[in-house]
Structure 1
Amino acid sequence: MKKSIVLLLVALFLMPLGGTLYAASKKKKEKGKTEEAAPAKKESKYDKLLKKPGVKTVKGDFITLHRVGNKVYFEYPVKYMGRELLIASTISETSSPTLCTVGYKPSAPLHVRFDLQDSTIFLRSVNSLVEYNEKEANLKEAVEENYIDPYMKKFTLEAYNADSSAVVFNVSSLFVDNVPELAPISKMSSGMISISATPKSELFSLGEMKAFEDNVSIATNTTHSVSASLFIFTINLGDVSNKVTRTVLLLPEDKDRMKPRISDSRIGIFLTGKQRISTEEDGIQSYTFANRWRLEPKDMRAWERGELVEPVKPIVWYVDNTFPEGWKEPIRKAVLRWNQAFEKIGFKNALQVRDFPTAEEDPNFDPDNLKYSCIRYSPVKTMNAMGPSWVDPKTGEIINASVLVYNDVVKLNNMWRFTQTAQIDPRVRAKKLPKEVLDESLEYVVAHEIGHTLGLMHNMSASHAYPVDSLRSASFTQKYGTTPSIMDYARFNYVAQPGDKGLKLTPPVLGCYDEYAIKWLYSPIAGNLDVREEAKILESWVDEKAGDPRYRYGRQQVYARYDPSAVEEDLGDDPMKASEYGIKNLKYIMAHLNEWIADDASTAHRQFLYEGIVTQYYRYLMNVLYNVGGIYLTEVKDGTPGARYQAVDAKCQSASLKWVVKQLCDSEWLKNKDVVSKFGLSATQVNDKVYGLVMQNILKADAKVLVSSHVAGGDYTQADYYNDLYSAVFANTIKGKKLTDLEKTMQRGVLAEFAKQVQTLKGTSKKLTNVAAYTPSIEEVFAYGLDESGFLACFKEQLSAIEQEYGNGVVMEQLKLHQFGDTYGYGFQKEVNAQLYDESLAHYTTMYVKILNLVKSKVLTAHKDDRPHYQALLVALETLKK
């Protein structure tokens, strides 16, 4: 045989035998276990931690979340270490909606990043204030050494995932424990007033977790014991429980961020502060970026051709499904009305509005996630609405915004429409506003708040641009409404008189200032220019409008009220004329109050409207009194029209003081017996309170006149003020006429103020601080809506009592000293002191002598009913000598 055949046969013969022997051998070994088994695969730290029963995992493209009991772990991609994030805290549920509003973010989002260093992960706060000129290479190293990102927290690396692309670490201390920066109730302290929330950590628990493409959200249930302090008194507000949703959002890398826009102080935009280090100028430059959404045309060439173009990413609003059904349509209209301004700069459908989607329509939707901007409903008594927004601190890009509408804003609208337009609009002469009036009023309120979320601050000087009598013109008001900006507090047309026909009673859909501000903020600029090149173009747009009162920006005055042309709740360019019209209307409305509001057996609503009438009257008087010592303030660029400051004309100041005194003396109509007799006994004192408040401000005006004359260069002096005060308060005494009760009260008030001044000179008066001349009283704060947070309203009665004892304005002076709230925007006008030139003591002495001689001459010759009054004054005057 051939060798190959022999080998084949041997192979065939041995194959089955070998297979049998191997199998037998294997069985024998298994039976006796004489061979060691292959070593088991070692369980990884990752598997040991996260593969146990009961671990809940939520996978996302950015961070994967793991829940182990009441602990939460991040599985954080290594590639995102060092990337900037925002961590925001939103209230999702609450036990106390008056303290915590669902949908609100109590604090600005944290701007942070995670860093991996060896086996530790650090959370660091991003230092985004300082920039530098990148053309100067050595500045980069200097900034990096001197402005490092502060360390906030550290976490231990627990494990790497299977391919080491992500690290796992326990972040429970950030989401389950109490973190003050993310707490639902922020600690406030102003020296005089404070609020604190002590966590009950044993009641904290982890809630639902969600993970998405570029963010995650984690819910936490919290409980805090809340207390408020006023001076030495502490009020226990009880335990407050909240469900809080924290969002961790990945921000774009620097190269992908929105191009910022440098602000201009002549236009009212919310701001993000910056400092720039460069040798281009001597010294570090401070400036601000305008807060705005990232709005870019889908087709830039089409936009350049003048075509309407949709934005790459529109601003989408979601309307809360819990709103009363009838409110939803005016709310949608409020959002969409702003598209009028965007269309003028080439954007189509820039703002869009949708209802809250169902889980089937959008399983990812979460109104408390930073990715969604929502209009939320809060079923509480607060008569207000808010429009806060939150930004990328690097650029000022608005990332998220909310509009919060409190239930009783409709009650506020009811009062506004009645007290300001009932004289001309029969529709509002009812306990409940008809739907068409409620809708247009609600639409205005929400549109104003949407304006805030677009970046616009209040512009309180806008309504001053229109002549008062133009507001009685049908053609004018139908075209322009009541103001050039709905960002003013110019409500409804209280100038309109009974019998006027065809007037528009509401603000415009949008004013010309609103459209101008939107153009400045959002109009694209062709040519791919850098930030500072664009700033020159933007500056030229503002230059074009300089000197035109319709485009003037007037900062809101909270801690100091210098400018009578930039106050809230006013209309027209002449406060005295507008207030004359307004008071005529109030008298007309008062005379018909019982007739128009008849379906009110308890009279509760009628009393609410009566108090609104009295408050409206108080505003009319204060609007005029602000002229006395008033200084117009305007941001002006050199070379363009206008003056930075200008004292109110002397004739106007003199006439204003006399007008307010006369109004107070003629204010008995507020005590309409047919009206107030239907209320409780205390209601009869409402107008007495107004009288006292205005009188306090009249007597405080001398310090304002001092500043306006000596600092602002006005020609109305302290001597003029005291002469006018004397001739107005003692007018009928000088003429030998019989005095009214209010005139007697006013004369006693002047002498009481003299007594206070004498006590001050002797060092025996009760004063907490030297109150600045222009500081508002607590009643002004409430009347003009300066307490936006609603915090002060919780202590209204106590704060009013403090001012009665320690002086008008002392509360706001204390809050200013302790920086209550932030000075947003361009800040408030700082106090101007002119005490060096104060000659009030000399003027007091001169007036004292004049009054003493006058009273002596009237003690025996005045009307018999007035003689006891003059005798009392004479005794008081003689006592002051001692």
Structure 2
Amino acid sequence: MKKLLLFSLILALSFPSEINAQRKKSKKNQTEETTPKPEKSKTKKYSDFVTKKTKTDDGLFKVHNTDNTYIYEIPKTLFGKEMLLVTRIKDIPAGLGGGYVNAGSKINTQVVVWEEFQDKILLKVKSYDAVANDSLPIYKSVKANNLEPILFAFDVAVQNLDSTAVLVDVTKFFTSDIQAISPLPDSYRKRYKVKRLDASRSFINSIKSYPENIEVVQDFTFDADEAPSNSSTNTITLRVNQSMIVLPEDKMMPRVYDKRVGYFSIGNVDYSSEALKADEKRYIRRWRLEPKDINAYNRGELVEPIKPIVYYLDPATPDKLKKYIKQGVDDWAKVFETAGFKNAIMAKYAPTEEEDPEFSMEDIRYSSIRYVASTTRNATGPSVSDPRTGEIIESDIIWYHNHLRSYRNRYLLETGAANPSARTLDTSAEEIGEMMRMVISHEVGHALGLPHNMAASYAYPVDSLRSGNFTQKMGIAATIMDYARFNYVAQPGDKNIRFIRQLGPYDHYAINWGYRKIPDIKNPEQEVKTLDKWIEEKGDDPVFRFGGERFDPSAQTEGIGNDQVKASTYGIKNLKIVAKNLPTWTSSQTNNYEDLTELYGELLSVWSRYVGHVSGNIGGVYEFNKKPNQTGNIYIPVSKEKQKESLAWLHKNAFETQDWLLDKNILANSKEDGYTDLMLSLQNRQLNSILNITTLKRMIDAEVIQDNYYSASDMIRDVRTGIFTEANYVRNVTLFRRNLQKSLIDKLGVLLVSKESKNTDISSIIRGELAMLNFQLTIARNRGVNRITKYHYTDCLATIKEILDPK
């Protein structure tokens, strides 16, 4: 029995331990069975990224697309190669940018390079603002002080099969909100209160690879509290095109910029110079034109270029306008013959989808003329250039649909008095086409590298613009690049007049200077002697002058002829005829007042421009760009006689009430009120032009370099006595004159307290003239004038007292 109890006790003590041991063992086995063993790292292979499902597009890079994951296969030979990355809008929501941004608008241009760094591929932005020869020691310092920003860092996915290229996933790069390639600059983000990019509504539309470039189309959708259109959606969606094109290794030799001939330019600071400072170098922007037969070219024969400049017309262009747009491009072919090139530029119709399914207006290999469905009245001629040399790579000229309406209106207003065919709202298709042709020619000029040359309209004598023989041969300005749109000088009865602008002699001269190949030249500096000679051969001939500074009255926009007083006198004489007939030519024909109201508003603007041309003489300074070996000074103030003549003209044609502009039949049928404010605003524009700090300071400075100068003191006195003429006589002051006189006092008051006039003669002159006016009006108030004139003078005196003795 004892043995049995002892055995039971031993069994009872040992059993739980076995149970626990079994439990522990069970848990251990369970852990081993349920926890997966870590796999050995598996190296990714090329076939993991390029599968049977992958669609591959071969070109500059191979682009692999697998279920909308995009992989670039970048050849190692292209690492370090400079490429141009151009961001432009492909499709745009209505109203973005206030109407001046459109499909095809360029947003950003930057030079980029792909580089290997450790296990990454870097996309870096390269700048050419500072340069140095890489063989010089200072090159290291230039690099160290101009570190290139990294736009994006990509993980290397894998190498290709023969290790000549690497694969990187670019999906995230093209679907993220990266400012450098974004279609929305900071100003738009603030304007439309953009919160964020919505990734769920943003994606890559397509990526296509071509031999020299890659084109990416993205859809970006942003949350925005104040979207420009469809505002209830709080959404802005844009379609963007990213073009990346490899830049040529055989760089075009740049041509040194010269401010005496108008060209857009690129510039940098060159630290390779042996001078005692870094050289600021500037080169013109131009297309690369190389003759097919250089020997024939050097013999003076016309030779075709290896690669001509070709523009493709937007398929969206209305059929009836295509021929005029094409002519506007083709007209420049004759100009390039002056530079020795035949068939150098041309327009072509874009291929159909059947002819070329890969053709795209956004493809950076093609230059285009875009026709934009927009109410904006404008046209532009931007281009993309190589920042290393100034070589123009591509350009997209943009025409806005409503722009022709502006030209129809201006044609009627500026030429209608002397040109019977302009006296209608239904301008003939041929004349409208001719206007469009010349606008396109103007924008092509920009795309060729030529900026505005506002001095060209000053080259022709005013009375020559009334000659049929002269205008048919020479046009109305020496270049198409001036804003000289119509001949408003020609008078009724003048015969065979050309009223619309055209290409001129300066265009031939400028293209020859910028594009003609100079033989036996190895660097840009060697060309300068010849380029100088071409300029100096023209001497002081105004036909070949370039200018455009706002202080220069001979380089004003919209002006024609070499005498602003004479030209504007002719222009206003014509405008009075038009104003008298405006209802007959508009509302009487349409049986509504819409066109009359629109044209009346534009007529006031035309009048303001004519008057403004004369105002520009007051305090004006002519600029004649020269080098020291040329005779004469660069800056010459307008003569005292011309300035005094101009101010006398302004008193008669602007500051005296222009009753002919206030046609009761037009005003009473166009707006319910604001008639007095309207006239005052027109007069104030001219008053502000001549009574501003910059103008007055130029007049004071003229005393230093001009013997017979028109002083600021004399000018302000002449303004005061002219505008307050009634105070010298027993005359009542009319409504419009009362407003103008008060405005003059206010303007003088602003000048007196201006920080810029402090410690200059300006404050002294203003204080003295206000004191004289105070004396003059005190006497005038007590003469036999009517009640409102007395009240007016009393009010003026109170204002003067507040200005001179502020409490």
Same fold (TM over 0.5): yes
> What is the Cα deviation at residue 468 of structure 1?
1.3
Q: Check 1:880–1:206 CA distance in 2 against 1; reply closer, same or farther (3 A cut).
A: closer
> What is the Cα deviation at residue 140 of structure 1?
4.4
Determine whether 1:292 maps to 2:286: yes
> What is the Cα deviation at residue 67 of structure 1?
1.8
Provide the residue aligned with 1:453 in structure 2: 447
Q: Check 1:190–1:151 CA distance in 2 against 1; reply closer, same or farther (3 A cut).
A: closer
Determine whether 1:863 maps to 2:785: yes
Determine whether 1:656 maps to 2:646: yes
Worse-superposed segment, 482-491 or 839-848: 839-848
> What is the Cα deviation at residue 696 of structure 1?
4.2
CA distance in 2, matches of 1:722, 1:200: 60
CA contact (8 A) 2:679 2:736 kept: no
Give the secondary structure class of the aligned counterpart of 1:275. strand
CA distance in 2, matches of 1:67, 1:424: 65
Structure-to-structure mapping, 1:736-755, within 5 angstroms: 736-755=730-749
> What is the Cα deviation at residue 517 of structure 1?
1.1
Determine whether 1:376 maps to 2:341: no
> What is the Cα deviation at residue 183 of structure 1?
1.8
Q: Check 1:682–1:380 CA distance in 2 against 1; reply closer, same or farther (3 A cut).
A: farther
CA distance in 1, matches of 2:84, 2:410: 40
Q: Check 1:874–1:263 CA distance in 2 against 1; reply closer, same or farther (3 A cut).
A: closer
Provide the residue aligned with 2:89 in structure 1: 91
Provide the residue aligned with 2:310 in structure 1: 316
> Which residue, out of 688, 692, 698, partners 1:707?
698
CA distance in 1, matches of 2:321, 2:797: 62
> What is the Cα deviation at residue 665 of structure 1?
1.1
CA contact (8 A) 1:546 1:641 kept: no
Determine whether 1:365 maps to 2:363: no
CA contact (8 A) 2:214 2:245 kept: yes
The code of the aligned residue for 1:125 comes to V
> What is the Cα deviation at residue 485 of structure 1?
1.1
Task: Please give the per-residue CA displacement for 1:427-450, whole angstroms capped at 9, x wherever unaligned.
Answer: 222223210110111111111000
Structure 2 residue runs without a partner (length 5+): 1-41
CA contact (8 A) 1:274 1:289 kept: no
Q: Check 1:92–1:732 CA distance in 2 against 1; reply closer, same or farther (3 A cut).
A: same
CA contact (8 A) 1:262 1:288 kept: yes
Provide the residue aligned with 1:828 in structure 2: none
Task: Please give the per-residue CA displacement for 1:822-860, whole angstroms capped at 9, x wherever unaligned.
Answer: xxxxxxxxxxxx865x22333233323332332233223
> Which residue, out of 235, 241, 245, partners 1:239?
235
> Which residue, out of 490, 507, 512, partners 2:484?
490
Q: Check 1:840–1:534 CA distance in 2 against 1; reply closer, same or farther (3 A cut).
A: closer
> What is the Cα deviation at residue 59 of structure 1?
2.0
> What is the Cα deviation at residue 307 of structure 1?
1.7
The code of the aligned residue for 1:847 comes to E
Provide the residue aligned with 1:11 in structure 2: none
Provide the residue aligned with 1:436 in structure 2: 430
Give the secondary structure class of the aligned counterpart of 2:108. coil
Q: Check 1:130–1:655 CA distance in 2 against 1; reply closer, same or farther (3 A cut).
A: same
Aligned-pair Cα RMSD in Å? 2.7
Provide the residue aligned with 1:6 in structure 2: none
CA contact (8 A) 1:316 1:352 kept: yes
Provide the residue aligned with 1:172 in structure 2: 171
Structure-to-structure mapping, 1:782-793, within 5 angstroms: none
Structure-to-structure mapping, 1:197-212, within 5 angstroms: 198-212=196-210
> What is the Cα deviation at residue 627 of structure 1?
1.3
Task: Please give the per-residue CA displacement for 1:572-630, whole angstroms capped at 9, x wherever unaligned.
Answer: 11111111111111111010011111233331111111111000111112111111111
Provide the residue aligned with 2:636 in structure 1: 646
> What is the Cα deviation at residue 871 of structure 1?
3.8
Give the secondary structure class of the aligned counterpart of 1:338. helix
CA distance in 2, matches of 1:455, 1:524: 16
CA contact (8 A) 1:71 1:172 kept: yes
CA contact (8 A) 1:186 1:197 kept: no
> What is the Cα deviation at residue 189 of structure 1?
8.3
Provide the residue aligned with 1:463 in structure 2: 457
Provide the residue aligned with 1:19 in structure 2: none
CA distance in 2, matches of 1:371, 1:873: 66
Determine whether 1:123 maps to 2:123: yes
Provide the residue aligned with 2:727 in structure 1: 733
> What is the Cα deviation at residue 364 of structure 1?
3.0
Task: Please give the per-residue CA displacement for 1:791-848, whole angstroms capped at 9, x wherever unaligned.
Answer: xxxxxxxxxxxxxxxxxxxxxxxxxxxxxxxxxxxxxxxxxxx865x22333233323
Q: Check 1:852–1:118 CA distance in 2 against 1; reply closer, same or farther (3 A cut).
A: closer
> What is the Cα deviation at residue 367 of structure 1?
0.8
Provide the residue aligned with 2:467 in structure 1: 473
CA contact (8 A) 1:630 1:705 kept: no
CA contact (8 A) 1:101 1:378 kept: no
Structure-to-structure mapping, 1:75-90, within 5 angstroms: 75-90=73-88
CA distance in 2, matches of 1:698, 1:526: 50
> What is the Cα deviation at residue 874 of structure 1?
4.0
The code of the aligned residue for 1:853 comes to F
> What is the Cα deviation at residue 236 of structure 1?
10
Q: Check 1:80–1:180 CA distance in 2 against 1; reply closer, same or farther (3 A cut).
A: same
CA contact (8 A) 1:103 1:404 kept: no
CA contact (8 A) 1:467 1:574 kept: yes
The code of the aligned residue for 1:579 comes to S
Give the secondary structure class of the aligned counterpart of 2:297. helix
> Which residue, out of 540, 544, 562, partners 1:547?
540
CA contact (8 A) 1:670 1:687 kept: no
The code of the aligned residue for 2:77 comes to K
CA distance in 2, matches of 1:236, 1:284: 55
Structure-to-structure mapping, 1:301-450, within 5 angstroms: 301-450=295-444
> What is the Cα deviation at residue 470 of structure 1?
1.4
> Which residue, out of 624, 645, 663, partners 1:672?
663
Task: Please give the per-residue CA displacement for 1:193-226, whole angstroms capped at 9, x wherever unaligned.
Answer: 8986843333111112212111121211112345
Give the secondary structure class of the aligned counterpart of 2:705. coil
Provide the residue aligned with 2:247 in structure 1: 251
CA distance in 1, matches of 2:192, 2:455: 32
Task: Please give the per-residue CA displacement for 1:334-367, whole angstroms capped at 9, x wherever unaligned.
Answer: 0011111111122111012111101232233111
CA contact (8 A) 1:468 1:574 kept: yes
CA contact (8 A) 2:616 2:689 kept: no
Provide the residue aligned with 1:829 in structure 2: none
CA contact (8 A) 2:260 2:545 kept: yes
Q: Check 1:550–1:641 CA distance in 2 against 1; reply closer, same or farther (3 A cut).
A: farther
CA contact (8 A) 1:258 1:397 kept: yes
> What is the Cα deviation at residue 748 of structure 1?
2.1
The code of the aligned residue for 1:525 comes to I
> Equivalent pairs: percent with the same residue?
30
Provide the residue aligned with 2:113 in structure 1: 113
> Which residue, out of 204, 208, 218, partners 1:220?
218
The code of the aligned residue for 1:729 comes to I
Query: Relative contact order (alpha carbons < 8 A, sep ≥ 6): 1 or 2 greater?
Result: 1
> What is the Cα deviation at residue 281 of structure 1?
1.7
The code of the aligned residue for 2:519 comes to A
CA distance in 2, matches of 1:708, 1:160: 71
CA distance in 1, matches of 2:301, 2:111: 38
Task: Please give the per-residue CA displacement for 1:620-652, whole angstroms capped at 9, x wherever unaligned.
Answer: 121111111111223221111342212111122
CA distance in 1, matches of 2:561, 2:223: 48
CA distance in 1, matches of 2:203, 2:233: 22
Provide the residue aligned with 2:774 in structure 1: 852
CA contact (8 A) 2:336 2:512 kept: yes
Worse-superposed segment, 630-639 or 604-613: 630-639
Q: Check 1:580–1:261 CA distance in 2 against 1; reply closer, same or farther (3 A cut).
A: same
Q: Check 1:339–1:396 CA distance in 2 against 1; reply closer, same or farther (3 A cut).
A: same
Provide the residue aligned with 2:681 in structure 1: 690
> What is the Cα deviation at residue 180 of structure 1?
1.6
Q: Check 1:455–1:877 CA distance in 2 against 1; reply closer, same or farther (3 A cut).
A: closer
CA contact (8 A) 1:88 1:108 kept: yes
The code of the aligned residue for 1:400 comes to E
Task: Please give the per-residue CA displacement for 1:229-279, whole angstroms capped at 9, x wherever unaligned.
Answer: 9xxxxx9995221221212211122xx121111111111111111222235
Provide the residue aligned with 1:530 in structure 2: 523
The code of the aligned residue for 2:368 comes to C
> Which residue, out of 505, 511, 523, partners 2:504?
511
Task: Please give the per-residue CA displacement for 1:69-114, whole angstroms capped at 9, x wherever unaligned.
Answer: 3431101111111111112123222222653855424323221110
Provide the residue aligned with 1:63 in structure 2: 61
CA contact (8 A) 2:615 2:690 kept: no
